[in-house]
Amino acid sequence: MIIIALGANLPSFVGLPEQTFNAALSSLSNQGVRIVALSSIWGSAPVPASDQPHYRNATALIETDVEPRELLTLLHNVEKDFGRDRAYEVRNAARTLDLDLIAYNDLVLENDDIILPHPRMHERSFVVFPLLEIAPTWIHPENKRTVKDFYNDLYPDDEIYSAQNAYCKFGS
């Protein structure tokens, strides 16, 4: 199971974050990535707390023959296509699109370019909540815990909410 997380709190040239998600997923599907499942849209406060707009978040399960490093490059290129430039970005700044590679099957990998599974995925309610919808029984290859376990460990005061009226219907 390959998992990606989507996030944005600024509009892109195609519109609101939800519309950006649709367009980004379409772009990925045109580049050898098959979208298997997509969570609903969640809203979350910026981390760390700031006066930035709230984020929209989702997770997707994908299939691809693209290797992890190449997939990460592809994700970054799609981000750039929608207005994000990591080279000039301030850490934790507002953004038009954030595509994170959360897990690549059962691969455990750590080097200067990529760490898999994502080292902070289990601490981020904006990853865990949407992932709980589409892969509640996924097991982390290092600590052998499920998404449901991560959900149970989250802080109850994390600001996250369903954004059901947000529009993201990729593939419909």
CB of 132 closer than 8 Å to CB of 34: no
Backbone Cα Rg of the chain: 15
Residue 95 falls in the annotated catalytic set: yes
Tell me 90's DSSP state: P
Question: 51, 81, 86, 98: which one is catalytic?
Answer: 98
Question: 34, 85, 95, 153: which one is catalytic?
Answer: 95
Instruction: Output phi, psi for 65, to 5 deg.
Output: -90, 0
Question: 69, 86, 100, 158: which one is catalytic?
Answer: 100
Residue 112 falls in the annotated catalytic set: no
Question: 84, 91, 106, 113: which one is catalytic?
Answer: 84
Q: How far apart are CA 112 and CA 117, in angstroms?
A: 14
Q: Which two tokens stand for residue 68?
A: 């992890």
Residue 117 burial by Cβ neighbours in a 10 Å radius (0-12, 13-18, 19+): buried
Taken in order 63, 22, 76, 116, is the CA torsion positive or negative? Answer: negative
Residue type, 102: I
Angle between helices 17-29 and 68-81 (to 10 degrees): 130
Positions annotated as catalytic residues are 84, 95, 98, 100
